[in-house]
């Protein structure tokens, strides 16, 4: 392997860490925000925190995750059948994470309008789904079972 591979892998892992930190933190913010009185001081603070997390960390980190991940896959010719199909399964889970990212963006906009329709428990359970997807991705990368 050459230096380019190691830099791509490093940048990919850093982007994934930042993205997953947001993926795990934002639902917790939503759970706390759902308990706050709409339009109150706490609610307004949560709105700022959620917007900054999504726009300043999560969106750029997700984009970087995809860019560096695709670059790694191309560099390694990872889609060749000889490499197995673990990457296809991983990408399926990553696409689920991206879809959940989109859902959280929608929910953030609803909170911004004081129009949340979910309970704190809903967001706590959703947070566990994120965790399960992350565990699945990591297990597939480490074990490459097929």
Give per-residue pLDDT as tens, 26-82.
Answer: 999 999 999 999 999 999 999 999 999 999 999 999 999 999 999 999 999 888 878
The total number of structural domains in the chain stands at 1
Domain that holds residue 29: 3-143
What integer pLDDT is reported at residue 2 of this predicted model? 84
10: CATH: 1.20.120
Q: What helix, strand, coil percent values describe the chain, rounded to 5?
A: 85, 0, 15
Rounded to whole angstroms, how far apart are CA atoms 138 and 144?
A: 10
| Global confidence as pTM | 0.94
* pLDDT for residue 140 is more than 80: yes
Confidence of residue 105 (pLDDT cuts 50, 70, 90): very high
């Amino acid at each position: 392997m050459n230096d380019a591979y190691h830099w791509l892998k490093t940048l990919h892992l850093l982007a994934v860490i930042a993205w997953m930190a947001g993926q795990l933190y934002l639902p917790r913010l939503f759970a706390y925000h759902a308990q706050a009185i709409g339009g109150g001081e706490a609610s307004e603070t949560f709105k700022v925190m959620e917007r900054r997390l999504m726009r300043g960390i999560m969106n750029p980190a997700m984009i970087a995750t995809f860019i560096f991940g695709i670059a790694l896959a191309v560099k390694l010719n990872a889609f060749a059948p000889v490499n197995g199909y673990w990457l296809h399964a991983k990408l399926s889970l990553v696409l689920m994470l991206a879809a959940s990212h989109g859902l959280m963006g929608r929910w953030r906009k609803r909170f911004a309008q004081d129009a949340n329709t979910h309970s704190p428990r809903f967001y706590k359970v959703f947070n566990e789904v994120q965790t399960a997807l992350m565990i699945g991705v990591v297990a597939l990368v480490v074990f490459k079972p097929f």
